[in-house]
Each structure stands twice: as structure tokens, then as C-alpha cells.
Amino acid sequence: MKNNVELIKLVINNYLDKIQLIINQDMVVLEYMYIINNEKDVYKTIEVTELEDKYCLKFYPEATTKIITLDEFSDIFDILDKQITKRRLSAEEVKEIENKYKPGSKVKLIKMYDLYAPPVGTIGIIKGVDSVGNILVNWENNSSLSLITGIDEFEIIKE
């Protein structure tokens, strides 16, 4: 419970405008909020259980799990902030992305705002661009997580 107290302090001091905090006997539930038409709604629900010196996070609606330290919560909240701000691209913007990021080009990951991002510095090869403007990549660690332009940070590697 000692670690949960530190988590609660972190949320209250830094994120209370974005997170509803629910405290149960053996778990803390974080409801990460976003605003639609001036109404708050839940974007993700995170069940947090305390381990020895870490936290086990279960994200809903995906029901995926991640184990992190207290220091890594800020990264989790940054990821959720970026995901919420993603906007729909126009057909012209998607075409510009297709023209700029050609299949076969190499990219180096600087930062990806996804819970299961490849490690920083991972190299990948662009497969193409999908219909909504995400850059499809085969990463050297066998991941195929797409890059989101305007959100994720990466650079093209010149041969």
C-alpha cells in the first residue's frame, strides 16, 4: 500500500484535471478522461495493483497489461495525451505522407507514443502508408507497429 500512496500523490499533484481516481482495498483505478463537446468521458481505464517495487497496470478496453515503476507513470500519461490528440487527416494530407515516406526507406525511432513501442533507436523499413496516414513499418525487433505522423518522433536514415 506504501507505493499506492506515492501513486495517489503523483496523480493528485499533477494529473487530477485528466484523471478520476478510484481507490479500492487492494487496487487503484485511474480513469483517464478526455473532453468531447465540453463533456468529460473516459478514454482508458487503468487498474493499478502494487507489486514489490513496481506497479502492474491493466488497460481497458484492450485488457493489456504492463509492469512499470512510479517514475514511468509520466510516460504513460504522455502516451495517452498524444493518443487523445490524434486527428483525422484529409485525403491530401495522406497523399503528402505517401509521397514523403516511400516503401523501402529506413527509419530510426526517436519516440513512439504507444504502450508497446519498440525501444528508442530501433531501426525499421517502411512498408507503405495506410488509408488514414499511418506509416507501416517492419521494425528490426519484429514489431510491425505503425508510426503516426504528427505524434510519433522518428527520422529517415539516409543511405
Instruction: Summarize the confidence of residues 3-7 as an average pLDDT.
Output: 84
* Whether pLDDT at 4 is above 90: no
- pLDDT at position 1, please? 61
* Whether pLDDT at 3 is above 80: no
- For residues 28 and 21, the answer to whether their CB atoms sit within 8 Å is yes
Q: For 92-111, what is each residue's pLDDT tens digit?
A: 999 999 999 999 999 999 99
In the chain, where are the structural domains located?
2-85, 91-157
Q: What is the pTM of this model?
A: 0.80
Q: For 25-60, what is each residue's pLDDT tens digit?
A: 888 999 999 887 888 899 999 999 998 889 999 999
For residue 99, what are the contacts with CB-CB under 8 A and spacing of at least 6? none
Count the residues in the chain.
159
- pLDDT at position 24, please? 85
Instruction: Summarize the confidence of residues 73-82 as an average pLDDT.
Output: 91
Strand order in the sheet with 55-60: 19-23, 28-36, 39-50, 55-60, 64-68
Q: How many CB atoms lie within 10 A of CB 75?
A: 14
Q: For 115-139, what is each residue's pLDDT tens digit?
A: 889 999 999 999 999 999 999 999 9
- pLDDT at position 90, please? 93
* Whether pLDDT at 2 is above 80: no
Instruction: Summarize the confidence of residues 137-156 as an average pLDDT.
Output: 95
* DSSP conformational letter for 5: H
Q: Is residue 69 packed enough to be buried (19+ CB in 10 Å), middle (13-18) or exposed (0-12)?
A: exposed
Q: Is residue 4 packed enough to be buried (19+ CB in 10 Å), middle (13-18) or exposed (0-12)?
A: middle
Please give the CATH topology (third level) of the domain spanning 91-157: SH3 type barrels. (2.30.30)
